[in-house]
């Protein structure tokens, strides 16, 4: 009997190890997709609002196939679901509009490295939500991370792709995302994730349509290959990337996931330098290293449960 039990335990351990390796690979693929998405967004010639519009509206019809074909999902679209989606979708719209527009106005390095501050902001703003009071160490390293962004902004001033206004929008996006993430965590206690994503994305899409029409955006502006690029942005980093990471959460530790996610800004920055010709200065590199190191320490200093939340925070925002 003991031998049979031992064999079963060994087989279970082997399955867990295999799934963990697959999970790490899945997160790695998602990070590559997310890092490349910033370069793709910058590469298309249309405005940030037009890009964000198609990122949402290419996804919305596909999402609604689910409730239209599955009565069980449709039955869960309740008034409580609608309220959650109206609030979360509005904040998600602000996040998307600011993120896509800032990428068009300033350097990819600045936008993605400023965005890397999000786990620290989420932890410091919502410790009670995670049942964890931020320690002095967390506050210290969060302050160091914010100091690193000052170097990033100052270091980019000589670049032709840099814009102080674009950096300001990137900082505004940082807090818009944190609001969206925290509100979503609150509502998803009572609203299933799938139904929430369907409704929230639809509300954000309606707001984006209104913003595009109000500001006179040319929705017919994409040409040739740009249509394929816009669809790829919606389908690959925006959909596949989230699927891979959500699957990985069940098979790998929060720490390993969150550490891998910190590579996304590096991939985006290197991609923009090589493919888009964006200049990268020594002060930016120093500031980026400070930010990523400090955020890594902040995440490592939390409990496993909170680390999982912070990994999810990074996962939800690194993708467009």
- Asked if residues 90 and 206 have their Cβ atoms less than 8 Å apart, the reply is no
- Asked if residues 47 and 281 have their Cβ atoms less than 8 Å apart, the reply is no
pLDDT in tens, 24-42: 898 889 889 988 999 999 9
Does residue 20 carry a pLDDT above 90? no
Q: Does residue 286 belong to any structural domain of this protein?
A: yes
Lowest mean pLDDT among 52-61, 161-170, 259-268: 259-268
Residue range 99-107: mean pLDDT, rounded = 95
Q: Does residue 34 belong to any structural domain of this protein?
A: no
- What is the DSSP code string of 28-59? HHHHHHHHHHHHHHHHSSS-HHHHHHHHHHTT
pLDDT in tens, 218-231: 999 999 999 999 99
- Asked if residues 221 and 46 have their Cβ atoms less than 8 Å apart, the reply is yes
Q: Does residue 314 belong to any structural domain of this protein?
A: yes
Residue 114 domain boundaries: 47-318
Does residue 78 carry a pLDDT above 90? yes
Does residue 317 carry a pLDDT above 60? no
CA-closest candidate to residue 287, choices 152, 92, 183, 94: 152
Q: Does residue 30 belong to any structural domain of this protein?
A: no
- Asked if residues 108 and 152 have their Cβ atoms less than 8 Å apart, the reply is no
- What is the DSSP code string of the chain? -HHHHHHHHHHHHHHHHHHHHHHHHHHHHHHHHHHHHHHHHHHSSS-HHHHHHHHHHTTHHHHHHHHHH-HHHHHT--HHHHHHHHHHHHHHHHHHHHHHHHHHHS-HHHHHHHHTTHHHHHHHH-GGGGT-PPPHHHHHHHHHHHHHHHHHHHHTTT-TT--HHHHHHHHHHHHHHHHHHHHHHHHTTTS-HHHHHHHHHHHHHHHHHHHHHHTT--TT---THHHHHHHHHHHIIIIIHHHHHHHHTTTS-HHHHHHHHTHHHHHHHHHHHHHS-----HHHHHHHHHHHHHHHHHHHTS-HHHHHHHHHHHHHHH--
Q: Does residue 166 belong to any structural domain of this protein?
A: yes
Number of domains present in the structure of the chain: 1
Q: Does residue 28 belong to any structural domain of this protein?
A: no
Confidence of residue 199 (pLDDT cuts 50, 70, 90): very high
Q: Exposure pattern of 164-202 as b/e (b: 16+ CB <10 Å)?
A: eebbbbbbbbbbbbbbbbbbbbebeeebeeebbbbbbbb
pLDDT in tens, 285-309: 999 999 989 888 887 776 666 666 6
Nearest 5°: the CA angle 23, 24, 29 is: 95
User: Tokens standing for 118?
Assistant: 């999000």
Confidence of residue 318 (pLDDT cuts 50, 70, 90): very low
pTM: 0.86
Quote the CA–CA distance of 218 and 45 in Å, as a whole number: 12
Q: Does residue 33 belong to any structural domain of this protein?
A: no
Lowest mean pLDDT among 41-55, 237-251, 257-271, 302-316: 302-316
Mean of all residue pLDDT scores within the chain: 86
Lowest mean pLDDT among 93-107, 159-173, 241-255, 293-307: 241-255
Task: State the sign of the Cα–Cα–Cα–Cα dihedral 169, 170, 171, 175.
Answer: positive
């Amino acid at each position: 009997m003991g031998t049979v039990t031992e064999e079963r335990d060994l087989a279970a351990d082997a399955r867990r190890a295999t799934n963990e390796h697959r999970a790490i690979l899945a997160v790695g693929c998602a990070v590559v997709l997310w890092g490349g998405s910033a370069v793709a967004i910058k590469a298309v010639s249309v405005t940030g609002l037009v890009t964000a519009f198609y990122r949402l509206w290419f996804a919305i019809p596909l999402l609604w196939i689910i409730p239209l074909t599955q009565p069980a999902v449709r039955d869960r679209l309740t008034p409580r679901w609608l309220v959650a989606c109206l609030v979360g979708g509005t904040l998600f719209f602000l996040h998307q509009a600011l993120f896509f527009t800032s990428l068009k106005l300033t350097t990819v390095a600045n936008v993605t490295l400023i965005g890397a501050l999000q786990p620290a902001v989420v932890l410091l703003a919502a410790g009670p939500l995670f049942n964890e009071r931020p320690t002095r160490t967390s506050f210290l390293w969060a302050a160091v991370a914010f100091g690193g962004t000052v170097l990033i902004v100052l270091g980019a001033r000589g670049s032709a792709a840099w814009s102080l206004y674009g950096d300001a929008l990137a900082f505004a996006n940082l807090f818009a995302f944190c609001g969206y993430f925290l509100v979503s965590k609150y509502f998803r206690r009572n609203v299933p994730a799938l139904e929430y994503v369907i409704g929230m994305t639809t509300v954000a899409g309606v707001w984006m349509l209104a913003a595009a029409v109000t500001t006179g955006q040319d929705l017919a502006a994409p040409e040739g290959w740009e249509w394929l690029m816009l669809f790829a942005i919606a389908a690959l980093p925006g959909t596949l990337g989230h699927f891979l990471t959500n699957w990985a959460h069940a098979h790998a530790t929060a720490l390993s996931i969150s550490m891998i996610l910190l590579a996304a800004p590096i991939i985006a920055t290197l991609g923009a330098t090589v493919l888009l010709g964006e200049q990268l200065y020594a002060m930016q590199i120093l500031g980026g290293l400070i930010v990523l190191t400090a955020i890594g320490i902040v995440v490592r200093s939390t409990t496993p449960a909170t680390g999982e939340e912070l990994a999810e925070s990074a996962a939800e925002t690194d993708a467009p």
